[in-house]
Chain A
Amino acid sequence: MSVFEKLEDIATGVIEKARRYGASESDVTITTRSAVETTVRLGEVEKLEGAQMRGLQFRALCGAKGTKTASSSTSDLSPQALDKLIKETIATAEASEEDPFAGLPESEDFAPDYLRHNFALDIFDPEVEHIPVEKKIQLALAAEEAARQADKRISNSDGASFSDSAGVIVHANSRGFLGSYEGSHVSISVGVVASQDDEMQTGGWWASNRRFSNLEEAEAVGRKAAERALRQLGSRKVKSQEVPVIFDPLMAGRLLAQFVGAASGAHIYRKSSFLVDKLGEVVASKGVTIIDDPLMAGKLGSHPFDSEGLACKKRTIVEEGKLLTYLLSSYAARRLNTKPNSGSLGNLYLQAGDSSPEDLIGSVKNGLYLTSVSGPGFKVITGDYSLGASGIWIENGKLAYPVSGITIASDMLSMFKNIEAIGNDLDFRSSTSSPSIKISKMTVAGQ
């Protein structure tokens, strides 16, 4: 019996048992994962971690209408433990109250058959589980060494890690959905410290991939980490002023995730987002098109079905500045009286424009090239945005000197409407990616 068949057997067994114990509906997700992390620091192995993990999540819908819900999780998959878990969860659901919107998705919204059984999305690399430890150590060492050799001002290191994991996800529900897939993940990350006089600045970088052979060269990751630390040396504050801000791809991706998070169905039906009542309206400048595509081959955010078994399709969330859809789980869709399209994201990206990053910087007379933000200062309900920031100050179209200890503020709708230019530097480094973007004005607070 393959691992898939074994786990699918357990999953269908749980559903069957739940039915027998009186649940109107139920669903179950089982995950197994093996993960290893190899960390080096200052040229020596510092930490080796390895584990095999597994977990099961069960949800029971009970009561006359099947709208009383309880859920539970465990890592004990023995028949006795699951039997007890199912009984207790059903008892809790029965004792709870009705939520008229609770339920499973309709079967017509399930992922189609061909996606259900380890569909070839190219997100699993069998090689990952067989990378020799020596190789992992060697790659982590090479990444750190490249960073430390980049410049004599690189004075210390937070270390470098090579991480790999591989696992299986199985989902089943009482409306007949059964699906499973496997995925793998490898990544390499480095953090180093640059110093000059009394000042220290860290810089970090990483690369990750589904496939080991596609992972970026370790040395390149190290050099980039060093560059990021070095370019912050000599940071100073600037005066408070209103200026254009260029978000580097990393910061633009972070901003994109915050923006799209506000389109999540749960925020919409609770009216707790600045995107409430904005469907079909202009929420960004004309150049902005935002796409989510869970079915891209080999990408980090790819998956054939979501956590409810819903179909995952490519969807355009914002097209030329207009908001086309929210992200709707089956619960949110029932709340909003519409059809679900999955509450989870796959590969989210902002479509590339045609300016080179140099063109973007060149277009700014006086402004900020943003490379890092900090703090929790974004409020979804209002869109108010105020975060700690550091980066490089732009003078007359050139990167002039590093800045830190400042903040940037605006509100999310204004920011997206003020996206004046979009870079051509989109890559799929994370499951959320964006090219560089230029926002025509934000408030910088400093001295």
Chain B
Amino acid sequence: MVSAINSGPDAAKLLHSSQMTPEKELHDAFGITYEQLQKVIAEAAQGTAGKQGFCDVFLQAGSAHAITLDQEVIKNASSAHVNGAGVRVVVGDKTGYSHTDHVNTTNLKRCATIARAICEHARENHNLELKESREESAHRSCGYSESGADIFKPHNLYGNEESPTNWDLKEKIALLKKMDRMARDFDPRISNVSVSLAAEDYVIIIATSRGAIFADRRPLVRLNIACQAEENGKRENGSSGGGGRFDFRTLLEEDYWSDHVLIAARQAIELLSAEPAPAGEMDVVLGSGWPGVLIHEAVGHGLEGDFNRKGTSAFSNLMGSSVASKLVTVIDDGTIAERRGSLNMDDEGTPTGRTVLIENGKLTGYLQDKQNASLMKASLTGNGRRQDYRFAPIPRMTNTYMAEGTSSPDEIIASVKKGIFATTFGGGQVDITNGDFTFSATGAYLIENGKITKPIKGATLIGNGPKALHKVVMVGNDVALDRGIGTCGKDGQGVPVGVGMPTIRINGITVGGSKN
């Protein structure tokens, strides 16, 4: 039988994290015992004695699979197998980190020795109040072996019965071909279609110097389609995609994939007749869902704990101040079932949570990892994340969105005399320190006298984080998260995230078109 490559331990049956026994996973995936791992932690913790610090080991095993159909042929079917671990030692605001691509006790001990070298540079008095989650302290007081899953109830957010790495190759190829066919049938001007599927599944184990050990099993699937259209020598493209931590069979449902095909194909065709965007300050309506990338860039990054501890964020020292119009409430929520940005626990073992960052315009919260929460004497929020075992965790977003208001989307568009309506975005970027953010619309329309008139292209929007959201004058009643395609980059680490927003109207934002 040929199915997808079996990868990672026990790929056939996916256990929910509440059913996982960390000790058993550790042994099955990495061939080491908890006692051996505790010795590694003891080695790493040596230098922290007398200094306020902690250490942890993050182990990751599993695989990622991808397959692409492009120009009507199946390109490379690829798989990446991972089995690695990182050892971290934290003393105050200082961090030592080392990782290995090949887990065994010898390599882990070498990592411990490298990571603890940071202790030589530690100050004696850090005035650090070590933060730990309820779950970690429960482990500490009761001991690991007795606690199991009973002391705390970990989230159970992933909707998988079976590992997505079990997905049959033939079934994937059939889906890719159906999507390609449908896109080409949509319009004769569709000249190329590129479709890809990705599936990953990792076992994560985190063991801490406080005697806690946690395990999680993280599946993630994703589908992408890009359509290219051509007419009279003019070419354009459009794309769509979605995914999350749910069963891969969802992607096979016609309602699911055909929606993405239509969005991508329509966008490509529509852009063929799009005019260049105007340039200058104007009123902008942003559609619900993926345009929430505005929230991610304009405020999300600036509220991550590390920048605020260091005082390098445009939002530093603004806690409690008004940073947006009263209509604006912004939330980061890592606990939404099956979402791409959701996790049962963050990459330090803290359960993810729901953090209100801005409430009715007022700054109310930061996103924290253990180190920054400890240094800022703040609570843990479950936002300590890392790309993989090769990186130390830092504060990161999960699913970040603006809460809904009361206006209907139609009423919002009708309220604009002259402006633009932007519905899809390529992504964005922010300068954390001066607060300037940029994000680029791939699909947008002109609004004239309250009506959507014609498609435009090349609209980059630019604004300043602590200022722009004061100009939000209407918030819709149609909040939605994106379809599950976002990857956020920070310090060279990419992590899957979600963004979201209702339809909003924002006045006087600079639009960077080429039509003067």
Q: Check: B77 CB closer than 8 A to any chain A CB.
A: yes
A411 and B312: CB pair below 8 A?
A: no
**How far apart sit A445 and B458, CA to CA, in the bound complex (Å)?**
12
A75 and B84: CB pair below 8 A?
A: yes
**How far apart sit A85 and B515, CA to CA, in the bound complex (Å)?**
54
A49 and B392: CB pair below 8 A?
A: yes
A46 and B95: CB pair below 8 A?
A: yes
B510 and A405: CB pair below 8 A?
A: yes
Q: Which residue of A lies closest to B434 (CB)?
A: A201
**How far apart sit A84 and B428, CA to CA, in the bound complex (Å)?**
41
Taking A47-B97, A381-B235 as contacts, is the C-beta distance between A409 and B84 under 8 angstroms?
A: no
Taking A387-B438, A404-B434 as contacts, is the C-beta distance between A52 and B81 under 8 angstroms?
A: no
Q: Check: A69 CB closer than 8 A to any chain B CB.
A: yes
User: Which one, B99-107, B197-205, B253-261, B327-335, is touching chain A?
Assistant: B99-107
Taking A235-B434, A242-B516 as contacts, is the C-beta distance between A445 and B95 under 8 angstroms?
A: no
- Number of contact residues on B: which range applies? 35 or more
B279 and A443: CB pair below 8 A?
A: yes
Q: Which residue of B lies closest to A87 (CB)?
A: B5
Task: Give the dominant DSSP class at A's interface.
Answer: strand
A99 and B516: CB pair below 8 A?
A: no
Q: Which residue of B lies closest to A201 (CB)?
A: B434
Which of chain A's residues have a CB closer than 8 A to the CB of B118? 45, 47-48
B429 and A92: CB pair below 8 A?
A: no
Which of chain A's residues have a CB closer than 8 A to the CB of B463? 405
Within the complex, which residue of B100, B311, B430, B434 is in contact with A199, where a contact is CB–CB below 8 Å?
B434
Within the complex, which residue of B4, B228, B312 is in contact with A156, where a contact is CB–CB below 8 Å?
B312
Taking A49-B98, A381-B236, A409-B460 as contacts, is the C-beta distance between A93 and B77 under 8 angstroms?
A: yes
- In B239-272, which residues have CB < 8 Å from any A CB? none
B510 and A407: CB pair below 8 A?
A: yes
B70 and A202: CB pair below 8 A?
A: no
Which of chain B's residues have a CB closer than 8 A to the CB of A374? 429-431, 436-438, 462
Least CB distance from B302 to A in Å reads: 11
Task: Give the dominant DSSP class at B's interface.
Answer: strand
Within the complex, which residue of A193, A241, A377 is in contact with B512, where a contact is CB–CB below 8 Å?
A377
Which of chain A's residues have a CB closer than 8 A to the CB of B460? 375, 377, 386-388, 407, 409
Interface string of B305-349 (1 = CB under 8 A from A): 000001110100000000000000000000000000000000000
Within the complex, which residue of A95, A388, A447 is in contact with B2, where a contact is CB–CB below 8 Å?
A95
Q: Which residue of B lies closest to A270 (CB)?
A: B192
Which of chain A's residues have a CB closer than 8 A to the CB of B236? 381-382
B102 and A445: CB pair below 8 A?
A: no
A381 and B237: CB pair below 8 A?
A: yes
**How far apart sit A44 and B310, CA to CA, in the bound complex (Å)?**
14
Q: Check: A51 CB closer than 8 A to any chain B CB.
A: yes
Taking A374-B436, A381-B228, A407-B438 as contacts, is the C-beta distance between A69 and B77 under 8 angstroms?
A: yes
Q: Check: A121 CB closer than 8 A to any chain B CB.
A: no
B101, B237, B460: most-surrounded residue (chain A CB, <10 A)? B460
A386 and B434: CB pair below 8 A?
A: no
Q: Check: B476 CB closer than 8 A to any chain A CB.
A: no
A75 and B75: CB pair below 8 A?
A: no
Within the complex, which residue of A74, A404, A445 is in contact with B81, where a contact is CB–CB below 8 Å?
A74
Which of chain A's residues have a CB closer than 8 A to the CB of B2? 91-92, 94-95
Which of chain B's residues have a CB closer than 8 A to the CB of A173? none
Interface string of B65-90 (1 = CB under 8 A from A): 00100110111111111111000000
Interface string of A366-382 (1 = CB under 8 A from B): 00000000111101011
Which of chain B's residues have a CB closer than 8 A to the CB of A375? 427-429, 438-440, 460, 462
Interface string of B50-71 (1 = CB under 8 A from A): 0000000000000000010011
Least CB distance from B435 to A in Å reads: 8
Taking A75-B102, A377-B426, A388-B438 as contacts, is the C-beta distance between A237 and B510 under 8 angstroms?
A: yes
Within the complex, which residue of B75, B81, B439 is in contact with A85, where a contact is CB–CB below 8 Å?
B81
**How far apart sit A161 and B485, CA to CA, in the bound complex (Å)?**
32
Which of chain B's residues have a CB closer than 8 A to the CB of A443? 279, 512-516
**How far apart sit A411 and B458, CA to CA, in the bound complex (Å)?**
10
Q: Check: A258 CB closer than 8 A to any chain B CB.
A: no
Which of chain B's residues have a CB closer than 8 A to the CB of A97? 73-74, 173
Which of chain B's residues have a CB closer than 8 A to the CB of A240? 279-281, 516
- In A248-293, which residues have CB < 8 Å from any B CB? 269-272, 276
Q: A45-B121, A51-B390 are in contact. List 6 more A-B contacts (CB 8 A).
A: A52-B100, A53-B101, A156-B312, A271-B228, A384-B514, A445-B279
Q: B residues bordering A, Cβ < 8 Å?
A: 2, 4-6, 67, 70-71, 73-84, 93-102, 111, 114-115, 117-118, 121, 123, 169-170, 173, 191-192, 194, 228, 230, 235-237, 276-277, 279-281, 310-312, 314, 390, 392, 426-431, 433-434, 436-440, 457-460, 462-464, 510-516
Q: List 28 A-B contacts (CB under 8 A).
A: A45-B118, A47-B94, A47-B96, A47-B118, A50-B97, A72-B80, A74-B80, A76-B81, A76-B102, A92-B4, A95-B169, A99-B74, A193-B312, A235-B434, A272-B228, A374-B431, A376-B427, A386-B458, A386-B460, A387-B460, A388-B436, A390-B436, A411-B514, A443-B512, A443-B513, A443-B515, A446-B281, A447-B281
Query: Shortest 8 CB-CB distances between A and B: which pairs?
Result: A407-B512, A388-B438, A375-B438, A75-B101, A445-B279, A45-B121, A409-B514, A377-B440
